[in-house]
């Protein structure tokens, strides 16, 4: 898949999943200490995302080798990485507890949450990318004109 086609897939899934968000796409590794999520483990990741849920902004980082994957895998990776920013908004509420909980306790919570989040995101991404790519949203994400 060419970068242009990949970018169009990201835009399609963005419109379906998170039309109020902006998504910046990079075909490179992220720099610095962003909060990121990895599609295939910490060491052999091929894509990750970071976000600032307070302004509905996501960053999607993709290694160029992803472009050689088949279309189904690509859709699954894109959906997976776009679901994380949406969950960041929900799960980020626990951040207010960070300063009030002993660090080992918060760390244990985070480790459990991250593992459970990956499992959930993988399941949802599989279902959505398998059944949801026919041009219109199957989950009622159409935005109303105010
Ligand atoms: Zn993930």
Q: Tell me, in angstroms, the distance from the centre of ligand 1 to residue 92's CA.
A: 15
Domains of the chain: 3-131 (3.30.2010)
The tens digit of pLDDT for each residue in 107-142 reads 999 889 888 888 899 899 988 888 765 444 444 333
Look at residue 38 in the predicted model and tell me its pLDDT. 57
Q: Tell me, in angstroms, the distance from the centre of ligand 1 to residue 145's CA.
A: 32
- Please say whether the beta carbons of 86 and 56 come within 8 A: no
The tens digit of pLDDT for each residue in 37-86 reads 555 545 567 888 888 888 999 999 999 999 999 998 999 999 999 999 99
Q: Tell me, in angstroms, the distance from the centre of ligand 1 to residue 140's CA.
A: 24
The tens digit of pLDDT for each residue in 22-35 reads 999 999 888 765 55
The model's pTM is 0.80
Q: How far apart are the first and last CA of the chain?
A: 37
Look at residue 133 in the predicted model and tell me its pLDDT. 55
- Chain centroid, CA 120 distance in Å: 12
- Please say whether the beta carbons of 29 and 45 come within 8 A: no
Q: Tell me, in angstroms, the distance from the centre of ligand 1 to residue 120's CA.
A: 9
As a whole number of angstroms, the distance between CA 10 and CA 60 comes to 9
């Amino acid at each position: 898949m060419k970068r242009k086609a990949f970018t169009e897939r990201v835009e399609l899934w963005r419109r379906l999943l998170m039309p109020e968000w902006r998504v910046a796409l990079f075909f490179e590794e992220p720099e610095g200490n962003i909060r990121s999520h990895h599609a295939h483990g910490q060491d052999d990741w091929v894509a990750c995302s970071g976000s600032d849920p307070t302004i509905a902004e996501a960053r999607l980082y993709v290694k160029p080798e992803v472009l050689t994957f088949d279309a189904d895998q690509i859709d699954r990776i894109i959906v997976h990485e776009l679901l994380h920013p949406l969950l960041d908004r929900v799960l980020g509420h626990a951040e207010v507890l960070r300063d009030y909980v002993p660090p080992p306790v918060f760390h244990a919570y985070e480790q459990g949450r991250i593992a459970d989040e990956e499992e959930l995101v993988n399941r949802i991404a599989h279902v959505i990318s398998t059944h949801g790519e026919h041009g219109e949203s199957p989950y009622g994400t159409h935005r109303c004109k105010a």
